[in-house]
Amino acid sequence: MALTTIRCVGVVGCGLMGSGIAQTCVQAGYEVVVREVNEELLQKGLGRIAEAWEMLVSKGKISREQAEEFRGRLRGTLAVEELAACDLVIEAVVERMEEKLRLFTALDRLLKPEALIVSNTSSLSVTQMAAVTRRPQQVCGLHFFNPAPVMKLVEVVRPITASDETIETVRRFAESLGKTPVLAKDTAGFIVNFLLIPYLLSAIRMLESGMASRDDIDTAMRLGCGYPMGPFTLLDYVGLDTTLWAAEAIYEEYKEPLYAPPPLLRRMVAAGMLGRKSGRGFYEYS
C-alpha cells in the first residue's frame, strides 16, 4: 500500500482545538474544509481564525497578501458531505466516545476509499473508533495541543489496526505542519496525559484538603519547577471538563487511584465552572 498524498484536509469541529488545527493546516499550504454543527459555532470558529491572522499581520509575522491567500484556502460548512473530497479528515469534536463513533461511521461511508481518518482525542481509544469503519488500517490518532498553531508537539497514536503506511503518512503530515511528532501506543492518556493528569489531580486534592492555597500551589510549581504555569492556571486553560473526561478514561482502563477524579473537580464541572472557556474555573476571567 502506497503512502497517501494529502492535498485537502477536512477538520470536523471548529471549537478552540478544531479552529486552531484548521488554521495550522491552511498556513502549511493545505486546502481545508472545516465543518460545524450550526452556523453560530461555525462563524465563531472562523472568526477566531480570522482574528489570529489579523494579529499576525499587525505584528508583521505575515503580509496582508498571505492572510488573503490563507482565507482563500479555508472553507466552512455545515454539511459533512462537503468533506467527501478530502484526503485526510481530522476529528476534533467533543471528547465523548458515542459522538466520535457516530462521526467515524458517517465519515467512513462518505470518504473515498484511500482517505485517512484521524482523531484529535486526548485519551479515548482510537482502536474503538477504527473498529466502526471499513478502513481500520487507515485510522489513527493525531493529538494536537492547545493552542494548536503554537504548540510544537503532536502525538501520533497507533491503534493495533493501523498500517505502517498510515502511521508514516500521518507522521510526515505532522512534520509538514512544522510539528514534532512522537509515536504513542493506543493506551488511555497516550504519553502526555498519562503523566500530566496525576499531577493536575494531585494539585486539586492538595487544595481540597487545605494543604496549601491555590495561589501558593501555582507559584510553587512555577518557581520551584520552572513550569510556565501552575496546575490551576493550566487546568483552567485546558478546561476542567476536558481534564475530567481524560481522567475518567485513564481510570477506566487502569483503575489506578492516581487517576480517580477528585470530588471538587466533578462538582466544578457539574456547576459549569470549566475554566477560561466558561469565564470561571479555579480563577475568574472577564
Residues belonging to the active site = 122, 143, 155, 193
Q: Where are the alpha helices (DSSP H) in 14-123?
A: 16-27, 39-58, 64-72, 97-110
Cα distance between residue 279 and residue 267, in whole Å: 16
The closest alpha carbon to 139, from 156, 153, 155, belongs to: 156
Q: How far is the C-alpha of 119 from the C-alpha of 157, rounded, in Å? A: 9
Q: What angle do CA 136, 9, 117 make, to 5 degrees?
A: 10
Q: What is the secondary structure of 176-243 as a DSSP string? A: HTT-EEEEEESSTTTTHHHHHHHHHHHHHHHHHHTSS-HHHHHHHHHHHH--SS-HHHHHHHH-HHHH
Return the C-alpha cell found at 244: 475530567
Cβ(178)–Cβ(11) below 8 Å: no
C-alpha to C-alpha distances, 51 to 23, 45, 54, nearest whole angstrom: 11, 10, 5
Distance CA 139, CA 54 (A): 35
Other residues' Cβ atoms within 10 Å of the Cβ of residue 153: 14
158 SS3 class: strand
* Number of helices (H), then strands (E), in the chain: 11, 8
